[in-house]
Amino acid sequence: MRKKDIVFEPSKEIREFNGRDHIGKVITFECEHVNNGSQYIRSKSAKKWSNDPLHFLSGWVKKIIGAEKSTFKRKIVNVQMIEHMNGGRSSNERHQSYAEFFNEDRKRRVRAMWTGGLEGRLSGAGGDADQADLIVTFKDFELDSHCYSLRAPEEWYSELHADNQKFKFESGFYADAAEATKFFADKPVDDLFGERYFPVLVFPETALQMARDIATHAKACSKPIVTNGRAILGTRCKPYEYPEVIARTYEHGGQVARGLCWDWD
């Protein structure tokens, strides 16, 4: 699935993450607000915007460490990955590296979650199987910290949808941005947050990054699906967003699927 000119997320650096490499390192934290005897702390190095997941460490400690804005240092005793907390966790299994955590068993759980839709997410015991949090242990406390970059391999999503008939695009594509925009102008969808539009963007697979960049102009978008030589992203647009998203798509060599709206994620 992985080709030389296709770069799936997360990055190579994230895929090679191993908590063992961080044992013994010292982190500087800044004390923030206090609530009911607990204190929120944040790694000072987060301001550097490094790709290293530990540079974004933050969370609640069940004690008060210092005055607001004061700093302190702690040496890391252990680093582990655990399923992302989202109203609970369906699994408390821990692993020290990205490769160990996103194993074949985790892949089965992730695929079950992705195919279960919203109902599948809500019916379980909580947690997001396709993301991981960090459990970082220090001598006197343990920090449970969300880390957005620790996500399941994106190619799993493409593999899941590789044989989906809707991505054969038997109805083709709109000839240009004007035709696509006109179609969606007559097809608003009311959801919980108001009027929304769901154009599906299709690019050559080699233009995956361009497809990502354009999809970010929408309020929300799907994970990319790379199959049959194409990179596909569903979008969820506000009324003022979809004309721009469609226009940018055609300006940069993409197309919008005819008669198809994003409804699979």
Candidates 3.40.50, 1.10.3470, 3.30.70, 2.70.98; CATH matching 162-261: 3.30.70
Reading the block at residue 226, the tokens are 């790379």
Please give the pLDDT value at position 125. Answer: 65
Other C-beta atoms lying within 10 Å of the C-beta of residue 135 = 18
CA gap 254, 265 in Å, rounded: 21
CA gap 57, 97 in Å, rounded: 16
The structural domains of the chain, with segments of one domain joined by +, span 12-153, 162-261
Q: Which residues of the chain have pLDDT under 50?
A: 1-2, 49
CA gap 195, 220 in Å, rounded: 14
> What pTM value is reported for the model?
0.87
Please give the pLDDT value at position 124. Answer: 57
Torsion angles phi and psi, residue 115, rounded to 5: -85, -15
Please give the pLDDT value at position 150. Answer: 95
Please give the pLDDT value at position 53. Answer: 87
Please give the pLDDT value at position 46. Answer: 52
Please give the pLDDT value at position 50. Answer: 59
Contact in structure between 55 and 43 (CB atoms under 8 Å):
yes
Report DSSP letters for 200-262, one per residue: EEEEEGGGHHHHHHHHTTSSEEPPPEEETTEEEEEEEB-TTTHHHHHHHHHHTT-EEEEEEE-
Please give the pLDDT value at position 2. Answer: 46
Please give the pLDDT value at position 118. Answer: 55
Please give the pLDDT value at position 186. Answer: 78
Cα–Cα separations (whole angstroms), residue 76 to 19, 97, 136, 188: 10, 15, 7, 52
